[in-house]
Amino acid sequence: MKIIGHRGAAGLALENSHESILAALQFDLEAIEFDVHLTRDGELVVMHDRTTKRVSDEKVHIRKKTLQELKSLNLKNKQSIPTLDEVLKVIGGNNIIIDIKDYGISEKLPKILKRYPSIKFSFTSFKHDELRRVRKLLPNAPIYVCEHLNPIEIVYIAKSIGATGIALNKWLMNPLTYHLAGRYNLKIYVYTLNSPWLASFYKRFYPDVDICTDHPERFAERKSKSRTLKISKKIKSKKK
């Protein structure tokens, strides 16, 4: 069972912020997952919702604002909304899963990926047309079809897209989906699983399923002191 950091490490710091990404980097994870939206002027920023309501005292619509306008906004942790490029520079050579939240993002991905050859990129989304576009533009990139309603149909959608796997709400996992995914060689990860008890249940009955969690500290080992020191330097650099 492999561990994926959800929105960085959303249980340790404000989701999708620099602080959350840096928190996730302190643990030995299979990958770090975060969400990407498109701004009015076509820039990619790391944010889950369409608006900033949950993560800032000011509510603005991401798609209606330019990057410069969004950068002037303070998040609840006093940081600014990070761009995709800013996050990738911090992540270095770690594996990531980008959750595509807007239509039109896929076309911008190939150019960005070229700038970070040491990062292994995977993609997930509820917007299945965007994943189809990613499959055409980046035929070798792992993609995971996201679903929180129909755990059976999603297997066949993933198969039709040529996806690597599926990403399911943790409560939708069931023996039939597990069996079908295995038949079609589809990987599975579930979100957002924060309970060690539930994780032990998954490990017993669905041993090939990976988990995406807000709390990597409950499931993963901390990195060595030398690697943590490098992360600390990144944190100090960001503060400057």
Specify if 68 maps to a domain: no
Q: For position 214, which CATH number holds?
A: 3.20.20.190
Within a domain: 95: yes
60 within some domain: no
Instruction: Indicate whether 146 belongs to any domain.
Output: yes
Q: Are 122 and 138 in contact (CB under 8 A)?
A: no
Of residues 75, 76, 112, the one with CA closest to residue 96: 112
In-domain check, residue 74: no
State the pLDDT at residue 25: 97
pLDDT the model gives residue 230: 54
145-199 pLDDT, tens per residue? 998 889 999 999 999 999 999 999 999 999 999 999 999 999 999 999 999 999 9
Residue 130 contacts residue 105 (beta carbons within 8 Å): yes
Please write the tens of the pLDDT for every residue from 64-91. 999 999 999 999 999 999 999 999 999 9
pLDDT, tens digit, for every residue of 6-60?
999 999 999 999 999 999 999 999 999 999 999 999 999 999 999 999 999 999 9
Cβ-proximal residues to 155 (8 Å cutoff; 6+ apart), any chain: 166, 177, 180, 181, 184, 186
Domains in the chain: how many in total?
1
Rounded CA separation 100/135 (Å)? 13
* 225: in domain: yes
Residue 227 belongs to domain spanning:
3-38+82-239
The token pair that represents 235 in the structure block? 């944190």
Q: What is the pTM (predicted TM-score) of this model?
A: 0.92
Contact criterion met (CB below 8 Å) for 169 and 189? no
Q: Are 206 and 179 in contact (CB under 8 A)?
A: no
Average pLDDT of the chain is 93
C-alpha 85: how far from its chain's center? 15
Q: Which amino acid is at 29?
A: L
Domain-located, residue 138: yes
Kindly state the helix (H) or strand (E) to which residue 128 belongs, with its residue range.
helix 128-137
Write the pLDDT tens digit of every residue in 91-104: 988 999 999 999 99
Q: Is residue 54 part of a domain?
A: no
Q: DSSP string spanning 177-230?
A: HHHHHHHTT-EEEEE----HHHHHHHHHH-TT-EEEES-GGGTSPBPPHHHHHH
